[in-house]
Structure 1
Amino acid sequence: MSDQRQHEGMDRRRFLQSTAAVGAGLAIAPSILAQAGGTASDDINVALLGAGAQGQILMNACLQIPGVRFKAVCDIWEAYNLRRVSRLLDRYGHKNNTYTDYKEMLDKEKGNIDAVIVATPDFWHAEHAIACMEAGLDVYCEKEMSNELAKAKQMVEAQRRTGKLLQIGHQRRSNPRYLHCYEKVIQQARMLGRITTANGQWNRGAQEPLGWPTNAVIDEATLAKYGFKSMEQFRNWRWYKGLGGGPIVDLGSHQIDIYSWFLNATPKGVIASGGTDYYDKNTHEWYDSVLAIYDFETKDGVVRAFYQVLTTNSSQGYFETFMGDQGTLMISEAAGRGSVYREQGAHVPEWDRWVKLGLIAEPQRVETKDDSGAVLDVRETVPAQEYLIPIDMEGKPYHQPHLENFFNAMRGKEKLTCPGEVGYETAVMVLRTNEAVEAQRRLEFGKDEFHV
């Protein structure tokens, strides 16, 4: 087999793999088809701007929400993303118009849509979100707000100027399990006591570059118009500086946002180490791994937080842990993790009361017997008692509660859980972390750096 044919075969495999998971989530439920047939006075008409993998995930979540109707789809990959998503929406009963140019969409759909979901590459977010708000539309914009802080700031300023809603896609902010842990475990009961340390990670296994069908190539002129040098770059934009922000932005942003939220603080400084140690630097301009340490000044004292993101090994997946002198919270967006662990010195009757109040579930059995024959070291600690978090997602996709919050805010029923000002704080943290890796030294955050 020639090198060219081998490369094309690999591209096709990677393309199919990258779209299979998205397609699997788009099975048409009869209940969704039934609700798509009618209209109501409070229906929200939506356009999807960016119909790639993430856009399709958000679309799928929206289709589970009553009263949301897609009217338009815009994507520059007309031969694949645009046609595929438009046809899927048609099958759901959402008759829609298609566009490759967002400006044309905003012009022709004026008066026909109420909101836009922006799921384009990071370097387009600011231009797209600002244009939509200035067109009088509310915006749900995927994170990161931008790969440039100046442009992220412009998004917040545009929101204030237009008065439109701007929800940033840090979906854990609306996740019922995270809300329960923040409001009940940390704020109300203070189960963890004084939090001293946090850590988290998102590890992913090594992957080949994403490919594309040879019969659906975007022409060079169109790619250049929208900021891409090739199909390779278009499909793998997250790895290129100036287009994406690397894994600390793509993955770490979600979790570092949780540090700031749960600690009610922003960091004073960051030390970070990273590099492109595994992949070809010509195709992976961003670091393939980053290790970072932040220090947060909270009202109870300093909290040191460690974060690790890997793209070469998937060990233990992704989670966040908050550790205090009375207990530990481990939580993840994945349903398999969500527990509070009681320290040996914690007041047991208090924990029993919290179980009765439903803040935590009955404790899990702790196995302390050691059958290995080894003699326990005096420095070892008895395993902490585990209490599960008694809240689940009720079968909803991860992004659905956050989108529900956005649409409910449009109806005046709720406040946004992640408005632009909050998303901007996280953008500062992660984009400056990339700077810390580059500088190879600790970077300090200014007191006013997180505010617009």
Structure 2
Amino acid sequence: METPPSSINRRDFLAKTAVGVGAGLVLGTPGLLRAATAGSPSNAINVALVGQGKQGQVLFDAMRNIPGLHFQAVCDIWDYNRKGSVGRVTSLQKHKPKAYSDIDDMLATEKGLDAVVIATPDFWHSPHTVKCLEAGLNVYCEKMMSNTIDGARAMVKAMEKSGKLCQIGHQRRSNPRYRFTLDQLINGSKICGQIVNVNGQWNRAVKSSQNIAYNPNLKISQDILAKYGYKDMHQFMNWRFFRDLSGGAISDLGAHQIDIFNWFLGTTPKSVYATGGNSYFKEREHFDNVMALFEYDTPQGQVRAFYQVLTTTSAGGGYWESFMGTEGTIKISENSAFTEIFKEASPAPKDPSAPQPDKPIPLSWDRLVQRGLLGRKAATWVAPAAGGVVDSRVSAPPEGFSLPGELNKPPHQPHLENFFAAVRGEAKLTCDARHAFMSEAPIYWVNPSALSQLPIVFTPEQLSV
């Protein structure tokens, strides 16, 4: 049974993490943005939606409750997606958006657009983003930035040349739980002590990784598919499994979490050594399982980070990131069921040989509970009875704690709120294209390492724009 925090509620929790995210937006301050109406109010942000497949729908659902947005146009090469998007938008704002099958037609025709939200397949991210930035529009683009590192570089250059905003969809960067953990616990209270290892995973069952089927009566014509880079309808529906169209599971799933490694450690890795294979989906171009070891140099010392992405089993508890330190460990996820914090049963002895100013000094965990920064969980370990024998090599399990507060909105919503607040000049982006590139650059080298079965020690050129 959990002991509830004594002095914090959801509003307090979110307030502590609002810096840089757009405090009024995260907290839902009334009147900051005016709700969209049937037309386009003078203070509304006029938005175009490009790419209205599954991820495009996820982003639209996250934008539904953000006031002050007017969805002016939608664009998708598939008539089925396009009609569905028009229906959803019309139902929301009682005003039918213009519909396009080609982004060039949309950009040439639509006047008064302020921003574009891009959720096309990865190999289109860079061309679409660059076009929109060059057209003078602000861009929110899903991650990965591109299926190639050069494509990602082009996005950074276009953003900086245009002077427009470009937010990349690493949505955890705006998630109150993650910002609270980094700002208040790791950097503020230093509850981990010295972080020495990092772990992360995203494990999916075979059932969730199957090919996506389609209704033959709704398929796209072959000439349209070829025009936009697809061999056939199967490839259009399952582009994530093809090397020319995506980076595979390590980019589709792993990029989110490796971004957290880099963000929380405050640096990028110096090397990667990866392995992978097709254990189940043998016909696919990309590996169905990848494991990667990153090495980091931090001010506190070297950190090794292990990451695995499996599309063949859900064993091991879904998706999370774990930061393990000499004083405590933080296991964090968008899913609160996977989120826990552990205090080491025995504090680490001081290292007299280490420069002490570089060694973080954790605050009292009891004080953190009293201040509402942590919740205490009931103890689950029972010490052996008198006379019992315990192997001296076995450490007592660490005490468990919980994070306060829940994000009672879609996980992408705070990141989109931050983007639109920045468009209004009311906040700074939490993940612009340059910061996203710095974090994504090492990920582009995971597949080459796995394919060659060799470690890669990064050069500055490999990780630079």
- Indicate whether the TM-score tops 0.5: yes
* Alignment partner of 1:368 is 2:382: yes
* Alignment partner of 1:378 is 2:403: no
Task: Answer yes or no: is the 8 Å Cα contact 1:295–1:303 preserved in 2.
Answer: yes
Match of 2:226 in 1: 224
CA distance in 2: counterparts of 1:438 and 1:348, whole angstroms: 42
CA distance in 2: counterparts of 1:120 and 1:345, whole angstroms: 50
Q: CA deviation at 1:354?
A: 1.4
Q: CA deviation at 1:36?
A: 4.2
* Alignment partner of 1:153 is 2:153: yes
CA distance in 2: counterparts of 1:345 and 1:43, whole angstroms: 56
Match of 2:342 in 1: 341
Q: 1:375 to 1:203 in 2, by over 3 A?
A: farther
Match of 1:52 in 2: 53
CA distance in 1: counterparts of 2:371 and 2:250, whole angstroms: 38
Match of 2:200 in 1: 200
CA distance in 2: counterparts of 1:304 and 1:43, whole angstroms: 46
* Alignment partner of 1:123 is 2:136: no
Match of 2:401 in 1: 387
Q: CA deviation at 1:183?
A: 0.3
Question: Within 5 Å, which residues of 2 pair with 1:187-266?
Answer: 187-206=187-206, 207-266=209-268
Q: 1:348 to 1:424 in 2, by over 3 A?
A: closer
CA distance in 2: counterparts of 1:417 and 1:259, whole angstroms: 16
CA distance in 2: counterparts of 1:306 and 1:42, whole angstroms: 47
Which amino acid letter does the alignment assign opposite residue 333 of structure 2?
A: S
Q: 1:313 to 1:375 in 2, by over 3 A?
A: farther
Task: Answer yes or no: is the 8 Å Cα contact 1:368–1:382 preserved in 2.
Answer: no
Q: CA deviation at 1:376?
A: 4.1
Q: CA deviation at 1:37?
A: 4.5
Of 321-330 and 39-48, the range deviating more from structure 2: 39-48
CA distance in 1: counterparts of 2:344 and 2:91, whole angstroms: 53
Q: Give the structure, 1 or 2, with the largest relative contact order (CA under 8 Å, sep 6 or more).
A: 2
CA distance in 2: counterparts of 1:413 and 1:450, whole angstroms: 31
CA distance in 2: counterparts of 1:58 and 1:189, whole angstroms: 34
Q: How many residues align?
A: 412
CA distance in 2: counterparts of 1:364 and 1:166, whole angstroms: 45
Q: CA deviation at 1:413?
A: 1.1
Match of 2:177 in 1: 177
Q: CA deviation at 1:277?
A: 2.3
Q: CA deviation at 1:40?
A: 4.3
Q: CA deviation at 1:276?
A: 1.8
Task: Answer yes or no: is the 8 Å Cα contact 1:51–1:75 preserved in 2.
Answer: yes
* Alignment partner of 1:440 is 2:441: no
CA deviation digits over 1:139-190, x for unaligned, max 9?
0000010111111101100001000000000000000000000001110111
CA distance in 2: counterparts of 1:348 and 1:133, whole angstroms: 45
CA deviation digits over 1:362-412, x for unaligned, max 9?
3433332679xx96433222221111111320x110100000000011111
Question: Within 5 Å, which residues of 2 pair with 1:421-440?
Answer: 421-440=434-453
Task: Answer yes or no: is the 8 Å Cα contact 1:51–1:82 preserved in 2.
Answer: yes
Q: 1:35 to 1:130 in 2, by over 3 A?
A: closer
CA distance in 1: counterparts of 2:140 and 2:334, whole angstroms: 20
CA distance in 2: counterparts of 1:436 and 1:110, whole angstroms: 46
Match of 2:373 in 1: 359
- The 3-state SS of whatever aligns with 1:45 is strand
Q: CA deviation at 1:359?
A: 1.9
Q: CA deviation at 1:425?
A: 1.9
CA distance in 1: counterparts of 2:131 and 2:39, whole angstroms: 30
Q: CA deviation at 1:448?
A: 4.7
Match of 1:401 in 2: 414
Question: Within 5 Å, which residues of 2 pair with 1:64-75?
Answer: 64-75=65-76
Which amino acid letter does the alignment assign opposite residue 67 of structure 2?
A: P
CA distance in 1: counterparts of 2:52 and 2:193, whole angstroms: 45
Unaligned ranges ≥5, structure 1: 1-33
CA deviation digits over 1:95-126, x for unaligned, max 9?
20100010000111122x11000100000111
Q: CA deviation at 1:430?
A: 1.2
Which amino acid letter does the alignment assign opposite residue 197 of structure 1?
A: N
Q: CA deviation at 1:205?
A: 0.7
CA distance in 1: counterparts of 2:135 and 2:86, whole angstroms: 23
CA distance in 2: counterparts of 1:262 and 1:408, whole angstroms: 24
Q: CA deviation at 1:423?
A: 1.4
Match of 2:104 in 1: 103
Match of 1:162 in 2: 162
Q: CA deviation at 1:214?
A: 1.7
CA deviation digits over 1:28-47, x for unaligned, max 9?
xxxxxx85457544311111
Task: Answer yes or no: is the 8 Å Cα contact 1:333–1:398 preserved in 2.
Answer: yes
CA deviation digits over 1:235-269, x for unaligned, max 9?
00000011011000000000000000000010010
Match of 1:450 in 2: 463
Question: Within 5 Å, which residues of 2 pair with 1:296-315?
Answer: 296-315=296-315
Task: Answer yes or no: is the 8 Å Cα contact 2:191–2:362 preserved in 1.
Answer: no
CA distance in 1: counterparts of 2:66 and 2:123, whole angstroms: 29
Which amino acid letter does the alignment assign opposite residue 371 of structure 2?
A: L
**TM-score for the superposition, normalised by structure 1:** 0.88
CA distance in 2: counterparts of 1:253 and 1:401, whole angstroms: 19
Q: CA deviation at 1:449?
A: 3.4
- The 3-state SS of whatever aligns with 1:267 is coil
CA distance in 2: counterparts of 1:370 and 1:242, whole angstroms: 58
